[in-house]
A and B are shown apart, each in its own frame.
Chain A
Amino acid sequence: MAEVMPSPCKQVSEPTPRPCKQVSEPTPRPCKQVSGLLRLTTAGSVDDGKSTLVGRLLHDTQSILADQLAAVDRATRARGGSELDLALFTDGLRAEREQGITIDVAYRYFATPTRKFILADCPGHVQYTRNTVTGASTAELAVVLVDARNGLVEQTRRHLAVMAFLRVPHVVLAVNKMDLVGFAEPTFRRIESHFTAVASALGVPEMVSVPISALHGDNVVTRSELTPWYHGPTLLEHLETVPVGREAVAEPMRFPVQLVLRPRTADYPDYRGLAGRVASGVLELGDEVVALPSGARSTVAGIDTPDGPVLQATAGQSVTVLLGDEIDAGRGEVLARPAQAPQVVTELNADLCWLSEQPLRPGARVLIKHGTCTVRAIVTALTGRLDLDTLRHSEPPAMLALNEIGCAHIRLAAPLAVDSYAANRHTGSFLVIDTANGNTLAAGLVTAA
């Protein structure tokens, strides 16, 4: 097992076991429950054929309907093209089509009889880090494209680093344009081994490599006859079968309270339910729980849904919790088991991916939105900057500019109940928000409380 992604911050406490460790272990029973949906993202250098691959996946799964095909065909011809330009499916905005570039993340949907897929299609160049971080933040799998003729380029390395930084649990290397290298196995193997070395140095937990031609469809949806030496799954077969959702279920239980439901109606005069979505783990009837940051304790007396009570709720499920005691646990509190509770902190170390054109300087006053809690905060120090090309950390920088990743020490005006991002993607992540105009300034990942 490779070590975790190097962070500019020193890890003060050892994170709980990496989610990836569960992959090869026997399936805990509730895991099956989230397997019907896979959120994925794509990354690739410009001209690696990403839009063509996305178009191919949509086309070959019959997710593009006749009128959409006709519209793309019209648009292709209007631009003087002759072959159907699959990239035009993914360029949705007027400015994108006019300039021939993709500006913003687009979400695409396709489904097979076994799974539904939500694909965050991220542009390769403009606003690159901002978009890739956005796409990777919710992705359970990333498809990284490499042009078989060029092998790993600097940008591939950066893409992979962002996926590792955001801890996307599954990474697929798609070696594209195999048709242009005569479907030669040695070329594929060379790229695969280079990529694997880089990926494991970055701490990518699991990786699969597939030789494809997005243009002609080889090994995307249908198995290619031109790669008899390849015995692995096609790209779609892998997407359909990769186990997802186990990570979140296996983590300690976290239930951020969104709001308190108090109907005060004739039918429910004394009802007081804590509405929320299980962020990780399994919430069970009878659990002893602690509400943090307040520290009040109680037991789970009921788990309510509009269809009636249930015995347990697993990661991802929205339910309403009834507690055995009248404790003061409202929005902003997190329910957890006392033995596996998050840390309550008033300062923390975090990696920040800076997304604003206004650079960050030490002393900045910001808002931190973490789970269902928003608190005022001061960025007291910048302690390092991550160079995605060398994966080395600089000396404390004077500032953090757009698309840079750095490490900060942050002081909070009120306590938060946090985990490290390495231990929990939900309770280890936060937004940094501008106090004046409300804009999102940074993606934050707790490294150590």
Chain B
Amino acid sequence: MTATMAAPAAVGVDHLAALESEAVHIIREVVAEFDRPVLLFSGGKDSAVLLHLARRAMHPAPLPFPLLHVDTGHNFPEVIAYRDRLVTDLGLRLHVAAVQDWIDDGRLTERPDGTRNPLQIVPLLDTLAEYRFDAVFGGARRDEDRARAKERIVSLRDAFGGWDPRRQRPELWNLYNGRHVAGEHVRVFPLSNWTELDVWTYIARRDVPVPSIYFAHEREVFARDGMWLTAGEWGGPRDGEQVVTKSVRYRTVGDASCTGAVESCATTIEEVLAELTTSRITERGATRADDRLSEAAMEDRKREGYF
């Protein structure tokens, strides 16, 4: 029997193992206490790690809840291919709420600046209501943003999906209070205490698959607002913006029209980790145009029901 034992190093020796056990505990609490959980899956690295943790939490049983992708339509093809392959290989259920459908039938209007990140809120809330999802797993981390630093692990949302930071429940010990009345739901953030570096270290340790655009590749990009944006039909390049070919990688995956790439030569996880430990810019600062709108851009979106 001893021969089949997993090496003790795999569990319980360092902070990453502690974070993993915490996340698994949170996921199991929610599966046990809620009727209809769902996991928000963007295809980004955080949702990839979240999905991996959820499968570990339920192992050897299959994942007892579906995934939901709120699709802006401004996608990186590599991410969609990765998503579909994962869903097929692992036998998962996936709902897609496409922002384009809401625009087509008039429930949403395209923004003048063309970005669709804020437009995800309505399709998200409509889909949660349609399927009566009562617990929504998300990969958000507290280190990403100052508003998220104040977020609970299990966080109540009112009937409009809104977050009211002044009415949050105190979260004590490891006891998560997810009680809610009809129409309300909770958002659950098992990666609350993880940092970007923790996520990548975990991806390396557990061999979690992530989309190829997280690694350096040649891409046609143009400069805007101090970021390298990918050329595409959704808004670029405009007049005067010159397209160049560069070796880049993405640190976050979002709406392709406002997610910037960083110049990089890191083609392996080890190189990505080495790059991160010397980086002097946060991932959102480096790559998200929408968070630069104001000091409280994320707080404002969260109040309206954003992830």
Interface residues of A (CB under 8 A from B): 32-34, 36-37, 65-68, 71, 75, 89, 91-95, 97, 103-109, 111, 115-116, 118, 130-131, 133-134, 137-138, 258-259, 261-263, 265, 267-268, 271, 273, 275-277, 304-311, 313-314, 316-320, 331, 355, 367, 369-372, 425-426, 429-431, 433, 437-440, 443
Q: Is the beta-carbon distance between A104 and B150 smaller than 8 angstroms?
A: yes
Q: Is the beta-carbon distance between B10 and A109 smaller than 8 angstroms?
A: no
A-contact 0/1 string along B54-92, CB 8 Å cutoff: 011111111000000000000000000000000000000
Besides the known contacts A258-B29, A306-B59, A318-B21, 15 further A-B residue pairs in the complex with CB atoms under 8 A apart: A34-B12, A36-B14, A65-B279, A68-B282, A68-B285, A71-B295, A107-B192, A107-B193, A138-B173, A277-B21, A277-B25, A305-B11, A308-B6, A314-B12, A316-B21
A-contact 0/1 string along B1-27, CB 8 Å cutoff: 110111010111111111111101100
Number of interface residues of B (CB under 8 A): 69
Q: Is the beta-carbon distance between B170 and A93 smaller than 8 angstroms?
A: no
Chain B residues closer than 8 Å to A367, beta-carbon distance: 179
Q: Say which one of B96-104, B141-149, B215-223, B239-247 lies at the interface with A.
A: B141-149
Q: Which residues from 122 to 176 on chain B have a C-beta closer than 8 Å to any C-beta of chain A?
A: 142-143, 145-147, 149-150, 165-166, 168-175
Chain B residues closer than 8 Å to A107, beta-carbon distance: 142, 149, 192-193
Q: Is the beta-carbon distance between B150 and A109 smaller than 8 angstroms?
A: no
Given A104-B168, A265-B60, A317-B11 in contact, is the A308-B173 Cβ separation under 8 Å? no
B255 lies within 8 A of chain A by Cβ: no
Chain B residues closer than 8 Å to A317, beta-carbon distance: 11-12, 17, 21
Q: How far is the CB of B94 from chain A (nearest CB, A)?
A: 20
Chain A residues closer than 8 Å to B192, beta-carbon distance: 107
What is the bound-complex CA distance between A104 and B280, given in angstroms?
28
Q: How far is the CB of A262 from chain B (nearest CB, A)?
A: 7
Given A116-B15, A134-B172, A438-B181 in contact, is the A331-B282 Cβ separation under 8 Å? no
Q: A92: nearest residue on chain B (CB-CB)?
A: B146
What is the bound-complex CA distance between A392 and B254, given in angstroms?
56
Q: Is the beta-carbon distance between B32 and A331 smaller than 8 angstroms?
A: yes
Chain B residues closer than 8 Å to A431, beta-carbon distance: 172, 175, 177
Q: How far is the CB of B250 from chain A (nearest CB, A)?
A: 17
Q: How far is the CB of A324 from chain B (nearest CB, A)?
A: 15
B269 lies within 8 A of chain A by Cβ: no
Q: Is the beta-carbon distance between A261 and B60 smaller than 8 angstroms?
A: yes
Q: How far is the CB of A352 from chain B (nearest CB, A)?
A: 12
Q: Which residues from 238 to 292 on chain B have a C-beta closer than 8 Å to any C-beta of chain A?
A: 279-282, 285-286
What is the bound-complex CA distance between A109 and B146, given in angstroms?
12
Q: Is the beta-carbon distance between B8 and A310 smaller than 8 angstroms?
A: yes
Pick the contact of A36: B15, B169, B177 (CB < 8 A).
B15
Q: B29: nearest residue on chain A (CB-CB)?
A: A258
What is the bound-complex CA distance between A367 and B142, given in angstroms?
30
Q: B193: nearest residue on chain A (CB-CB)?
A: A118
Label chain A's interface by main secondary structure.
mixed
Q: B18: nearest residue on chain A (CB-CB)?
A: A37
Q: B172: nearest residue on chain A (CB-CB)?
A: A137
B31 lies within 8 A of chain A by Cβ: yes
Q: Is the beta-carbon distance between A134 and B28 smaller than 8 angstroms?
A: no
Chain B residues closer than 8 Å to A134, beta-carbon distance: 170-172
Which among A103, A108, A258, A265 has the greatest number of chain B C-beta atoms within 10 A?
A258
Q: Is the beta-carbon distance between A309 and B5 smaller than 8 angstroms?
A: yes
In the A-B complex, the 9 residue pairs with the closest CB atoms: A438-B179, A67-B285, A92-B146, A37-B15, A36-B15, A36-B14, A318-B24, A263-B61, A116-B15
What is the bound-complex CA distance between A314 and B8, given in angstroms?
11
B93 lies within 8 A of chain A by Cβ: no
Pick the contact of B177: A67, A105, A308, A438 (CB < 8 A).
A438
B299 lies within 8 A of chain A by Cβ: yes
Q: Is the beta-carbon distance between B62 and A308 smaller than 8 angstroms?
A: no
Q: A435: nearest residue on chain B (CB-CB)?
A: B179
What is the bound-complex CA distance between A260 and B192, given in angstroms?
25
Q: Is the beta-carbon distance between A106 and B149 smaller than 8 angstroms?
A: yes
Q: Is the beta-carbon distance between A267 and B28 smaller than 8 angstroms?
A: no
Given A67-B282, A68-B282, A307-B10 in contact, is the A37-B179 Cβ separation under 8 Å? no
Pick the contact of B28: A108, A275, A443 (CB < 8 A).
A275
Q: Is the beta-carbon distance between B142 and A109 smaller than 8 angstroms?
A: yes
Q: B286: nearest residue on chain A (CB-CB)?
A: A67
Q: How far is the CB of A336 from chain B (nearest CB, A)?
A: 18
Chain B residues closer than 8 Å to A258, beta-carbon distance: 25, 28-29, 32
Chain A residues closer than 8 Å to B282, beta-carbon distance: 65, 67-68
Q: How far is the CB of A205 from chain B (nearest CB, A)?
A: 19
B95 lies within 8 A of chain A by Cβ: no
Q: Is the beta-carbon distance between A438 and B170 smaller than 8 angstroms?
A: no
Pick the contact of B61: A34, A94, A262, A311 (CB < 8 A).
A262
Q: Which residues from 178 to 205 on chain B have a C-beta closer than 8 Å to any C-beta of chain A?
A: 179-181, 192-193, 195, 197-198
Q: B147: nearest residue on chain A (CB-CB)?
A: A92
Q: Is the beta-carbon distance between A429 and B60 smaller than 8 angstroms?
A: no
Chain B residues closer than 8 Å to A438, beta-carbon distance: 177, 179-181
Q: How far is the CB of B42 from chain A (nearest CB, A)?
A: 22
Chain B residues closer than 8 Å to A106, beta-carbon distance: 146, 149-150
Q: How far is the CB of B223 from chain A (nearest CB, A)?
A: 17
Q: How far is the CB of A305 from chain B (nearest CB, A)?
A: 6
Q: Is the beta-carbon distance between B60 and A65 smaller than 8 angstroms?
A: no
Q: Is the beta-carbon distance between B285 and A308 smaller than 8 angstroms?
A: no
Chain B residues closer than 8 Å to A111, beta-carbon distance: 15, 195, 197
Q: Is the beta-carbon distance between B12 and A33 smaller than 8 angstroms?
A: yes
Chain B residues closer than 8 Å to A371, beta-carbon distance: 175
Q: How far is the CB of B143 from chain A (nearest CB, A)?
A: 5
Chain A residues closer than 8 Å to B149, beta-carbon distance: 92, 106-108
Q: Is the beta-carbon distance between B60 and A104 smaller than 8 angstroms?
A: no
Given A34-B18, A109-B142 in contact, is the A263-B62 Cβ separation under 8 Å? yes
Chain A residues closer than 8 Å to B8, beta-carbon distance: 310
Chain B residues closer than 8 Å to A95, beta-carbon distance: 165-166
